[in-house]
Amino acid sequence: MNYTSIKFDASGPVAVLSMARPGKLNALTPDMADEMRHALAHTEEARSVLIRGEGRAFCSGADLAAIVGEGDPGEGAYRSLVDHYNPLVMDIADHRLPIVAEVMGAAAGIGCSIALACDFCVAGQSAYFLQAFVNIGLVPDGGASWILPRLIGKARAAEMLMLGEKVHGRRAAEWGLIHRCVEDHIVANEARALASRLAAGPTVALGLMKANLSSALHHSYGTAMDREAQAQREAAGTDDAQEGIGAFLSKRAPHFKGK
């Protein structure tokens, strides 16, 4: 696929996916979402993924002109979500590799949902997370009404969703909305360092942990333990587990290969 709205580099252990419509603050279009999905499906040699935005913003939300176009605006918005945006968010959440979001500037609307679907989110102090749908008579989408109360509780989720309040980087970290807030000039380095750390880990086991964390939000305590036991059986059979156990017993640092 020839990418026109993103840049993608999967040549190293950290695959870097950059949203590349800086003139539009990386506003998401259906075509751009499809390009991102294609890139995420072609990370065979990578061991972690970094998602970022070119220019002044991570992603300013959906490009409304691209969604509505001609005809019934409600149907246009619905089809964009069902056919393009929601599948992208699920591809991120369900991806076999750990994914880090590097956020500078706006992460608004579907851009906020993309950032929060990642396993880790590193944001600058001037970054902000926004669900401004209330200001234009629409409702939050991209899974926002599901993920936000689970991350920050119903009261704070209502503040974001129903009042359309911006949550800047430092407050986002204090609330537990994101993993870490750092000074703007080191965001890229911090996010890359985290992605590299994950890439150096036992990525099969990390993928199983990721799946268990996600499923735990739906299931009971006992079901979660059953899933952990199944995952442990799978993880224990990997080369990385044998390396990790051997390294522990030998009192040396492990060298994981993602197998």
The per-residue pLDDT for range 188-243, each reduced to its tens digit, is 999 999 999 999 999 999 999 999 888 877 777 677 667 767 777 777 778 887 88
d(CA 65, CA 10): 31
pTM over 0.85: yes
The per-residue pLDDT for range 51-86, each reduced to its tens digit, is 999 999 999 999 987 766 556 767 778 888 999 999
d(CA 239, CA 118): 26
